[in-house]
Structure formats: C-alpha cells, structure tokens
C-alpha cells in the first residue's frame, strides 16, 4: 500500500471543520477508495484555543498558515481561509512553489488569480484543485474538465448563489419584499451580516468566471463579467413574472459568441418549462450545453459544511489516487485570451415595469420612443384604471439589443408621465 497522503489544512471555520469531520468519519472508506490513507498532519487557524465541534489533534497546530507551505511533512495544502489576497494567496503560491499540491474552496482567489496559479502549479508539477469553489457539492468542475471533454460547449449557466435563490424563492412563495426576507435569511444563517457579496451578484460572478474558463478554455477574466444583483426585485415583479409564465432567478450565464465570450450575472425571467425554473431554496444548479452531449443539468446543495467538505475531499481523493489534469482542462499557457462580448451588444427579450400617470397619450409616447429605438413590443399589461393617478405599466419586448433597450429606457425615464426609474429584467429563453 502506498504511503498516506499527508494533508495540512489552513482555516477551521465551518468548511474546515466539515473536512476534518469527514476525513475522520470515513477514514477506512477513503483508505479503501484511494488505496492509501488521507492523514491530516497539521492545521492552522486564527485561534488555537477556540472551542471547536471537531478535534484537530493529533495533527499539530501551526500558528502561521503560510508556514504550512514550507512544512516538509505535508504533501497537500488545503486552503480554506478565503479571500483573494493576503495569507491565503501567499499560502497557495508558496505551497505550489514548494512542490505541494493545493486544494482550495476559495473562489475569490481563483477568480482573481486562477490562470497564474494554474501556470505555477503546472510548472511545479503539482495539482491545483478547487471543486468546492463553484456550486459547493455539485461536481461541476470535474464534469466539465473530464466528463464533457469530448464536447465543444456552447453555453453554461446556472444558479450559483444559494442565498439569492433562497430569497427569490421565498419572495415568490410569500409575496413579501426583499428586505424582509433578507433579514430573516440573516437570522437563519443563510445570508451574511454584510450580504452584498451574495445579493449584489459578486459571489456568483467569481464562480462564473472560474466555470467559464474551464468550459471554454479561456483565461479567467473576472473583469469581463457583467454583474447585477437582486436588491431591486420587488414583489410586483414577482407577481408579474407569475402572470407572464416566468420565475425570477439570479442566473450566471456564459456563452461563446463567435470568437468572443459573454459572461453575465443578473436576475432573469425564466420560463416555467425549463428545469432551472424549479430549482428552489438554497439549491444550486448548473446547465451545460455541448455539441454532442446536448443539455445536461446538475443540481445540488451549493453551500454548507457537508456539501463543501464533500467537494474538498473529492479533490483530495483525486490527488491521493494520482489523477492529474490541468486545473482548467488544458495547459494554463494555452488558455485563450478571449475577446469579451460587451453587454451593450447582448440581444434578448426584456421585461420592463414602469410607474406612469394614468392619462391619455402615455402609451403613445412610450410606444413612439420604442419604435424610434427599433424595440419591438411583445406584450403590454396595464391592469385597472385610476385616471391621473400612478399605475403600473408592464411590457415585454421581442429580441432587442441591450444598447437600444437602454437608450429607449433613458428617454422613457425623462417623460413627465413616468414617475419612477424604469425596472428592467432580462428574459432568458433557455
């Protein structure tokens, strides 16, 4: 039997504790599956004396996580601190330089520096794996890197943030406003005290940037991701979505458009007959479209100690078994610096909700602006009448270029009879 794989873990928060627990509970099972043991020899976290639900002994305690990189008795460093700079980045860089493989759940770091780190790992002949960084327990990175390797992927999209999906699902089920449900989600531990990372779409953007690189063989390019969060979604939008046969989901979408790559994260109206419309609560889902395999859907828990530990340990199992594949499926030096498809050139149908004064001529003014910008109206909803009072006016469009839609909305916003900034949600036909 091969010698144990010797592991050093940096970060003993929820995920780190989950990994320790899993490795202890399934020690024999993992030994059988890997043909060798997975042994945690050292751990590092901020506070040695903190009460923890899981025992780290007999592993030794290391105060400075970066010191794990230099420890001669460690084969693999597991980085679970999080954050794109400082100690976690130094630890990963130095571990690779020292010839150690690295497993991390750190999406911010991989989204910021994935290409460079992958290149360093390949030069050093070590593995850099980060299955836990995208969609938690869903094994989507390995699926794209290995199982779908016979395909040219054309589009990859999904629900990559469980907090947003929980809030939107709850808004849909209860009709209550965003702020109220966010507060509850924070109390339940489904949302952070500072929720902006989740609800403003940043977390999903990190994950999408990583997934895009793997799916299309291009360098990770977080700056190329167009991002909008869900703060502006109102109960009115939720109700109109239902009436129009849609659900509102925060989607992360990457698509190859000729030589360019489109990457965007924003709320979408999705038709009820697509699988992703039915993914509720904190669940995540990823849909891949390949030229041979067609559409494949992967659904599961996107966060939490158990699912994330499952993903981290899967990477450790790969390393223990000696499986080696480039982090982004092709050698990092060959990752394409793909052109960015600008959001202004995006084409698709749109949902627009306006608050207008109910008086003759309003619809004519709006229709004239849309005509001038060559935006074709698909449907108009105006329920009820309240002469000279504010009433909602909802319209959906046929496929339109984003720059035209935005130009039209800017003009519409300036109409006297329009008394609130227009609300726009993109419709996705999936």
Active-site residue set: 207
Kindly give, in sequence order, each residue whose CB lies less than 8 Å from that of residue 417, ignoring residues fewer than 6 positions away.
Answer: 356, 357, 359, 361, 362, 365
Which position among 295, 347, 371, 374 is part of the footprint of a copy of itself (CB under 8 A)? 295
Stretch 231-270: interaction string toward a copy of itself, x if CB under 8 A = ----------------------------------------
Query: Considering beta carbons, is residue 71 or 148 the nearer one to a copy of itself?
Result: 148
Residue among 53, 70, 188, 293 that touches a copy of itself (CB under 8 A): 293
Contact flag: residue 131 with a copy of itself (CB under 8 A): yes
Q: Of the two residues 297 and 419, which places its CB atom closer to a copy of itself in the complex? A: 297
109 contacts a copy of itself (rule: CB under 8 A): no
DSSP 75-112: SEEEE-S--SSHHHHHHHHHHHHTT-EEEE--HHHHHH
Q: List alpha helices for 98-200, DSSP H.
A: 107-124, 140-142, 162-174, 178-188, 196-199
Q: Tell me: does residue 325 bind a copy of itself (CB under 8 A).
A: yes
- Count of residues interacting with a copy of itself (CB under 8 A): 58
Q: How far is the CB of 299 from a copy of itself (least distance, A)?
A: 4
Q: Which of residues 145-174 bind a copy of itself (CB under 8 A)?
A: 146-152
- The answer to whether the beta carbons of residues 143 and 154 sit under 8 Å apart is no
313 binds a copy of itself, rule: CB under 8 A: yes
CA 284 to chain centre: 9
Nearest 5°: the CA angle 285, 287, 289 is 175
Is the separation of the CB atoms in 288 and 299 below 8 Å? no
Please report whether residue 86 would count as binding a copy of itself according to CB under 8 A.
no
Strands 101-104 and 153-159: unpaired
Q: Which is nearer to a copy of itself, 278 or 359 (CB)?
A: 278
Integer Cα distance of 179 and 429 in angstroms:
28
The answer to the question of residue 54 lying near a copy of itself (CB under 8 A) is no
* Using rule CB under 8 A, residue 137 touches a copy of itself: yes
Phi-psi group of 137: left, alpha or beta (phi > 0 → left; psi -120 to 50 → alpha; rest → beta)? alpha
Shortest reach from residue 234's CB to a copy of itself, in Å: 27
Cα separation values, 13 from 53, 188, 217, 294, Å: 10, 18, 33, 39
The CA-based dihedral angle spanning residues 82, 135, 78, 111, taken in that order and rounded to the nearest 10 degrees: -50
Contact residue for a copy of itself among 278, 359, 398, 429 (CB under 8 A):
278
Residue 317 in the binding site for a copy of itself (CB under 8 A): yes
Binding-site member from 299, 373, 402, 428 for a copy of itself (CB under 8 A):
299
Token output for 361 = 């001529």
Q: 162-174 vs 235-244: helix axis angle to the nearest 10?
A: 80
List contacts with a copy of itself (CB under 8 A). 18, 22, 26, 29-30, 32-35, 131, 137-139, 142-143, 146-152, 217, 275, 278, 290-301, 304, 306-307, 309-314, 316-318, 321-325, 329-331, 334
């Amino acid at each position: 039997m091969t010698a144990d794989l010797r592991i050093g873990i940096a970060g003993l928060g929820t995920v780190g504790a989950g990994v320790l627990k899993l490795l202890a509970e399934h020690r024999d099972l993992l030994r059988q599956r890997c043909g060798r043991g997975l042994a945690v020899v050292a751990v590092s976290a901020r506070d040695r004396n903190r009460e923890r639900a899981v025992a780290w002994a007999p592993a030794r305690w290391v105060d400075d996580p970066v010191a794990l990189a230099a420890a001669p008795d460690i084969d693999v460093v597991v980085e679970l601190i999080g954050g794109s700079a400082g100690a976690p980045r130094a630890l990963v860089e130095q571990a690779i330089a020292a010839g150690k493989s690295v497993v991390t759940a750190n999406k911010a770091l991989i989204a910021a520096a994935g290409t460079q780190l992958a290149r360093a790992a390949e030069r050093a002949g070590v593995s850099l794996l980060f299955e836990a960084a995208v969609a938690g327990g869903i094994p989507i990175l390995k699926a794209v890197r290995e199982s779908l390797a016979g395909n040219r992927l054309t589009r990859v999209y999904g629900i990559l943030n469980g907090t947003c999906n929980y809030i939107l699902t709850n808004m849909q089920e209860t009709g209550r406003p965003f702020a109220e449900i966010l507060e509850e989600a924070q109390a339940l531990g489904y949302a952070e005290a500072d929720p902006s990372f989740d609800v403003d779409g940043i977390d999903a953007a990190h994950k999408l940037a990583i997934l895009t690189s793997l799916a299309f063989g291009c360098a990770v390019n977080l700056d190329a991701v167009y991002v909008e969060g869900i703060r502006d979604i109102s109960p009115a939008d939720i109700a109109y979505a239902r009436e129009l046969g849609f659900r509102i989901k925060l989607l992360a979408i990457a698509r190859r458009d000729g030589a360019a790559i489109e990457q965007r994260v924003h709320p979408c109206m999705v038709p009820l007959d697509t699988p992703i419309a039915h993914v509720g609560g904190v669940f995540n889902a990823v849909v891949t479209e390949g030229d041979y395999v067609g559409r494949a859907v992967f659904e599961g828990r996107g966060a939490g100690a158990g699912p994330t530990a499952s993903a981290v340990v899967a990477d450790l199992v790969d390393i223990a078994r000696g499986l080696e594949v480039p982090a982004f499926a092709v050698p990092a030096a060959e990752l394409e610096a793909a052109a960015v498809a600008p959001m202004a050139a995006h084409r698709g149908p749109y949902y627009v909700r306006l608050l207008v004064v109910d008086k003759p001529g309003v619809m004519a003014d709006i229709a004239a602006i849309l005509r001038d910008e060559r935006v074709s109206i698909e449907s108009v909803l105006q329920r009820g009448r309240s002469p000279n009072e504010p009433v909602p006016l909802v319209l959906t469009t046929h496929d339109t270029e984003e720059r035209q839609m935005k130009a039209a909305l800017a003009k519409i916003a300036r109409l006297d009879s329009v008394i609130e900034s227009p609300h726009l949600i993109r419709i996705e036909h999936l």
